[in-house]
Amino acid sequence: MQTLNKCLLIFSLALGKNISPLDSWSVLFESKHKVHATPHITNIIRSNPAHFTNNQIEELKSLNISIQNNNFLIERPEGLNESHVTNHFKFHYTLGNSYDAIDNINYVISMGEVFENVWSFYIDSLGYLPPVQDQMIGGSNLYDIYLLNLPSGYFGITYTSGAATENPSCASFIKMRNSYSSSLFSDHSELENIQVTAVHEFFHAIQFSYNCYEKLWFMEATAVWAEDELYDDINDHYRYMPTWFSNPGKPLNYTYGIHMYGTFIFFQYIDEHLGGPQTIKQCWEKSNENSTYIGDNSYLSINEALQNQNSSLDDAYNRMRIANRIMSSNLNAGIYRYEEANDYPVELPKIKEFINYDLGDYKSYTSSELNLFSTHYIELSTDVPVVISLNNESGPISDLSLFTVLKYDDIPRWSVRSNNEINIDPLVGVDYISIIVSATDDIEKNWDYSLTIKDGHREDFTFYDPYPNPGSSKYPINIDLQVIEPQNLFIKIFDVLGRQIWSMDKKVSEAGLLSVAWSGKNQNKKNISSGVYFIYAKGEHNSFTKKVTFIK
């Protein structure tokens, strides 16, 4: 495990495409679109002022960023002579004819109610650390929020504060708009804009209480995830998905542009299938433990948190990439299901290559563009059985993973297989065959790989993925076998120690669907314990094993 953790640190350092401080400056001052300013201001504050021209430094002063002793200094806004206090927040604002004035006090009161709701959800209910106190720089020990006429397109900004804190935490404060009525924000109501911005920026404040040095991609991806966790009917985060799904070849920790916001889908998958929001919190707890100003331990922290779910960064990443291809809310999708998939503004990731195969062909596909924690999707069209083989031209085969996804005709059923060599029989009737190649578990920056496709063999039955998974006595696990040729079929269930706990055999005289519902009882019809089990199905020529979880 120590070797793996060391490698994960090197991975993150080598492969993330990081946005430069000058690029962040351009986003802040030259963008004509909506702007999440926090990562770019954070990126600039972490950098050396020598990167910038005098004119650029002068522009930064408009955002209360100046230079002192060759370091960037954050100053608090001035001229806000009114305040509104809630249980945990102090809102600074002004009325009248000022450029920063709000229309009326009800705007502040409404915003206060939203922020208190956010605090209650993340601090009181989910147990995240509250923001670190700023030594009363804002006049109290309450968290300071300043209402201002922010630059056009800015949602809000969370600044790190210069208050003395215990490393690696840092205090912070937030700037919110004095109005969200601009046409740039017309996709949602003013209240909805306040809600998603309050969650996003306050989650940054929480993040800074764990690790002031964490990487921007991890910060933004989880902040976007947090928006939907509390206010799941607004769906502002949907706007990041088309660009993200158009670029599956970019690494998971890619920071440039808006890609890092779309990476919320990775944490959404973890939330839905690997422990819920508590696992996301554990990622930040591990970030605190692994904090480093110089390096990048984001992959390491996520990997350690996932171990509590008997998973890993590799496992979660590969499962997420499969779910992104299946893209369904149907319960049959099992561990590859997204609850809101049917509403997402995407249908599938960008396909890198389309391959047609006929009987007797021998096809070879090569690529030299695969980065760590990035994926290539290849679509295969064939009417005959094929064998697909993966070869790593740049190192051990264990660096890469090969999955296939078969969507069956006319029914919401999928078959997912993984190996370095996979036989596919499309004669059962398929809607699509997708080949998924990903890079995990090595320190190389790029991989060259090749796929070979040749004639395969007929399969006498197909084992659909069991569902629901996890199952329970209330929701039995359905075991469905699509029988292609008459034969004797055997189904056995084993526990993790290899002990057989249940079995059945069936003589099938004609092609069709064989369905069995297993409600968690052993051969003696006694209830079994909660845990992981393996379903083994064997026919005349083929056999398959599927892993399921049963919860009493």
- Binning pLDDT at 50, 70 and 90, where does residue 540 land? confident
Q: Is the pLDDT of residue 549 over 90?
A: yes
pLDDT at residue 459 in the model: 84
Alpha carbons 490 and 538: distance in angstroms, whole number: 5
pLDDT at residue 8 in the model: 42
Q: What's the burial of 136, exposed, middle or buried (CB within 10 Å: 0-12/13-18/19+)? A: exposed
pLDDT digits (tens, 9 = 90+) for 72-121: 999 999 999 999 999 999 999 999 999 999 999 999 999 999 999 999 99
Task: Return the structure tokens found at 94.
Answer: 């002004």
pLDDT at residue 13 in the model: 38
Q: Provide the whole-model pTM.
A: 0.88
pLDDT at residue 183 in the model: 87
Boundaries of every domain in the chain: 238-348, 353-457, 462-550
- Binning pLDDT at 50, 70 and 90, where does residue 443 land? low
Question: Among 290, 291, 292, 266, which Cα is nearest to 279's?
Answer: 266
Are 94 and 69 in contact, with CB atoms under 8 Å apart?
Answer: no
Cα–Cα distances in Å, from 313 out to 7, 300, 310, 538? 12, 8, 11, 32
pLDDT digits (tens, 9 = 90+) for 365-389: 999 889 999 999 999 999 999 999 9
pLDDT digits (tens, 9 = 90+) for 195-210: 999 999 999 999 999 9
Q: Is the pLDDT of residue 10 over 60?
A: no
* Average confidence (pLDDT) over 255-284: 96
- Binning pLDDT at 50, 70 and 90, where does residue 295 land? confident
Query: Given its phi and psi angles, is residue 365 left (phi above 0), alpha (psi -120 to 50 degrees) or beta?
Result: beta
Q: Is the pLDDT of residue 282 over 60?
A: yes
Alpha carbons 199 and 195: distance in angstroms, whole number: 6
Least confident range of 45-59, 263-277, 472-486: 472-486
Q: Is the pLDDT of residue 481 over 80?
A: yes
Alpha carbons 226 and 224: distance in angstroms, whole number: 5
Are 494 and 501 in contact, with CB atoms under 8 Å apart?
Answer: yes
Are 111 and 198 in contact, with CB atoms under 8 Å apart?
Answer: yes
Are 347 and 417 in contact, with CB atoms under 8 Å apart?
Answer: no
pLDDT at residue 1 in the model: 38
Least confident range of 17-21, 150-154, 414-418: 17-21
Quickly count: other Cβ atoms within 10 Å of residue 45's Cβ.
Answer: 18
pLDDT digits (tens, 9 = 90+) for 150-195: 999 899 999 998 877 888 999 999 999 999 988 889 899 999 999 9
Mean pLDDT value across the chain? 92
* Average confidence (pLDDT) over 281-295: 93
CATH class of 353-457: mainly beta
CATH class of 462-550: mainly beta
Least confident range of 6-15, 43-52, 251-260: 6-15
Q: Is the pLDDT of residue 393 over 50?
A: yes
Q: Is the pLDDT of residue 17 over 90?
A: no
